[in-house]
Amino acid sequence: MHIMHGRYLLYALVMEWKVHELRGFVAVVDTGTFTDAAIELGVSQAAVSRSIASLERRAGGLLLRRMPRVCEPTALGHRFLPQARRVLSELSKLDELLTAGRTTLRLGYAWAAVGQHTTPLLRGWALAHPEVELRLIRHNSPSAGLAEGICDAAIVRTPLDPRRFEAVIVGLERRMAVFASDDAEWARRRSLRMKEIAARPVLIDPRTGTTRGELWAEGKGPRTLETTDLDNWLDAIAAGKGVGMTSEATAVHHPRQGVSYKSVSDGPRIPVWLAWWHDEPPTGVAALADTLTKLYQGG
């Protein structure tokens, strides 16, 4: 609240202090002369002079000391300079925010992006849609950063609230059993079954993981141990504290020494959703959904 209030006052100040005047002043300080400042800003020297004169009238005193070959800030100018830089910096951030909304599609994910399809997605998108940068952002929350405003769309593997978010299934992924590589019983197996996993303590992330007790028949589920995030989960598995189950994308994105991944032969496939806000579909999301669907289908 204090940040927003401070920015409101800052932008109100800009309404009084014209932006081109502030830029002119900072440019003269940085380059040392009116002539060089004009070249940097792409305007005439007379325009810079008028801007500085207007700024000094508003400031109530000289901001620059004019000398034969160089200009330098006066005492008032030195006090004024950091504030002028701050205002221009905040305006630059505002420009970047508005521009990013039009040219960047931020795609969030919690544990893994789209596995083996991630590199083809990024390379293919850059060629097919050069006007929209696709940027991947990892965020460990149930909505992969979507609800938090960190991304514009998200790859999720657990359903989101349909009253708030639009979501389409773009693919299905196999479930993988995850265990310590020195596990004598499982190390040589080609695949595992759900009942074998249920016989072991199973490490889960209740916030963002895809392993739930309802995957097994009532009374047949495993004893579960909760972990806090992906790294904590992998460390615990490597230490032999339990086993895990996850999507095949995790195996692609997070190979770990001391941890092995094997297919769960009878495990139900994991749906992969592309989600975004109902009332704010981001630029390029329809094309992204189509591209992801084709990648998962092998097209």
Residuewise pLDDT in 10s, the chain (299 residues): 344 444 444 444 444 568 888 889 999 998 999 998 888 888 899 999 999 999 898 888 999 999 888 899 999 999 999 888 888 888 777 766 665 555 889 999 999 999 999 999 999 999 999 989 999 999 989 999 999 989 999 999 999 999 999 999 999 999 999 999 999 999 999 999 999 999 999 999 988 889 998 899 988 999 999 998 899 999 999 999 999 999 999 999 999 999 999 999 999 999 999 999 998 899 999 999 999 999 999 85
Q: Using alpha carbons only, give the angle 198, 199, 203 rounded to the nearest 5 degrees.
A: 60
Q: Residue 152's pLDDT is what?
A: 94
> Do 58 and 194 belong to one domain?
no
DSSP letter assigned to residue 146 = T
Cross-strand pairs, 270:
173
The pairs formed by 139-143 with CB atoms below 8 angstroms and a separation of 24 or more are: 139/108, 139/109, 139/110, 140/110, 140/111, 140/207, 140/208, 140/229, 140/230, 141/110, 141/207, 141/208, 142/110, 142/207, 142/208, 143/108, 143/275
- Domain termination residue (choose one: 73, 93, 113): 73
Examine the domain organization and report whether 65 and 190 are in the same domain: no
Given a contact cutoff of 8 angstroms between Cβ atoms, the answer to whether 225 and 204 are in contact is yes
Please check whether residue 49 lies inside any domain of the structure. yes
**Full residue range of the structural domain in which residue 114 is found:** 103-172+271-297
d(CA 142, CA 100) in angstroms, rounded, equals: 24
Residues contacting residue 289 through CB under 8 Å, at least 6 positions apart: 168, 170, 274
Distance CA 143, CA 154 (A): 7
Tell me which of 27, 57, 73 is where a domain ends: 73
Is the pTM value of this prediction over 0.75?
A: no
Number of domains in the chain: 3
255 and 281, same domain (yes or no): no
Residue 92's pLDDT is what? Answer: 75
* Assigned token pair, 259: 């941890």
Spacing of C-alpha 168 from chain mean position: 20
Instruction: Please count the other Cβ atoms lying within 10 Å of the Cβ belonging to residue 57.
Output: 9
CATH code at 218? 3.40.190.10
Whether residues 108 and 231 share a domain: the answer is no
